[in-house]
Amino acid sequence: MKEVVGEAEVCVVGAGAMGLSAAYQLARRGTEVLVLERTYPGLESSAANAGTLGLQNKPLAAIPLVLRAVEMWRQFTDELGVDVEYEKRGGLRLAHSSEDVEQLEKGVAAQRAAGVDTEIVYQPELSRIAPYLDSRVAAGSYCPDDGMANPLASIRALLKGAVGSGVRVWNNSPVRGIEALGDDDFLVGTPRGLVRCRAVLAAAGAWNGVVARMVDVSLPLTTDILQVVTTDMAPPIFPHIVTHVRGNLTVKQSRSTGRVLI
């Protein structure tokens, strides 16, 4: 039996964007938080993503949270003292065929009812506001609140905010087991020894299923593989965040580097 080497009110498992953000928000509200990270903060999805902060590509159930998140992103640079390069770029969600347009119209009606500021732009108006598009694109929904940020800077900002609010982060500390002693009493196993806490927050991204199994919970999680492709630096080509009604594709150009991210 290992000895107890640390205590906290909440142990957060994983120092990606989710874990650091949760730790920061808890600490701001006076909770004592210890983050346990398998390697180092932000080495997994949170640093390898495309940085799109879109409203139009989110499920309806998530919209109330996403609207709040937009307000939080607007303030992060000032609040955390690190430039996260957040920009409201305006997003265009495209439709080619008549079926696509029908799907877009339904989606926009539902999103507007949920409070998203979005409207459909048809040809020829679409070509006027987005002359870079092929004329075969029949319509697009425009949302001024679709935005983007720099994922690497965002991790630095969240880490700074969390640590500055009193959060402790243990690197090279994979959680290997969790023992529930009571409803609000847990022992968390790490290579350094055990940590005793009142709650465990699983923020291990794609590995959350592994963490849940440590307390005999089976989560119905599956993993999708996403990829980001980046071009070389280029002069400004298009300002919008472009998505398509039929899939997960996002295309945008970074203002700071000129690279197009797909």
Ligand X SMILES: Cc1cc2nc3c(=O)[nH]c(=O)nc-3n(C[C@H](O)[C@H](O)[C@H](O)COP(=O)(O)OP(=O)(O)OC[C@H]3O[C@@H](n4cnc5c(N)ncnc54)[C@H](O)[C@@H]3O)c2cc1C
Binding site for ligand X (CB under 6 A): 13-19, 36-39, 43-46, 48-52, 174-175, 203-207, 211, 226-228, 250
Residue (223 or 235) nearer to ligand X, CB: 223
Q: d(Cα 244, Cα 61) in Å, to the nearest integer?
A: 20
Q: Which residue(s) pair with 94 in the sheet? A: 140, 244
Q: Is the dihedral of CA 65, 67, 69, 75 positive or negative?
A: negative
Residue (89 or 101) nearer to ligand X, CB: 89
Residue 235 DSSP label: S
Q: Which two tokens stand for residue 43?
A: 């080495």
Task: Give the distance, in angstroms, between the CA of residue 195 and the centroid of all CA atoms in the same chain.
Answer: 28
Q: Is the dihedral of CA 23, 26, 28, 32 positive or negative?
A: negative
CB 184 within 8 A of CB 84: no
Give the nearest distance from C-beta 88 to ligand X in angstroms. Answer: 15
> What is the identity of the amino acid at 24?
Y
Q: Which residue(s) pair with 107 in the sheet? A: none
> What is the identity of the amino acid at 39?
T
> Which of 174, 187, 173 lies closest to 215, judged by CA?
187
Q: What angle separates helix 63-80 from helix 151-164, to the nearest 10 degrees?
A: 70
Nearest-CB residue for ligand X: 16
Residue (139 or 155) nearer to ligand X, CB: 155
Give the nearest distance from C-beta 125 to ligand X in angstroms. Answer: 27
Residue (45 or 123) nearer to ligand X, CB: 45
Give the nearest distance from C-beta 8 to ligand X in angstroms. Answer: 14
Residue (75 or 97) nearer to ligand X, CB: 75
Residue (91 or 107) nearer to ligand X, CB: 91
Residue (46 or 141) nearer to ligand X, CB: 46
Give the nearest distance from C-beta 261 to ligand X in angstroms. Answer: 8
Give the nearest distance from C-beta 53 to ligand X in angstroms. Answer: 6
Give the nearest distance from C-beta 98 to ligand X in angstroms. Answer: 29
Instruction: Please give the torsion angle defined by the CA atoms of residues 123, 124, 128 and 134, in that order, rounded to the nearest 10 degrees.
Output: 60
Give the nearest distance from C-beta 45 to ligand X in angstroms. Answer: 3
Q: How many helices (H) and strands (E) does the chain have?
A: 7, 16
CB 120 within 8 A of CB 97: no
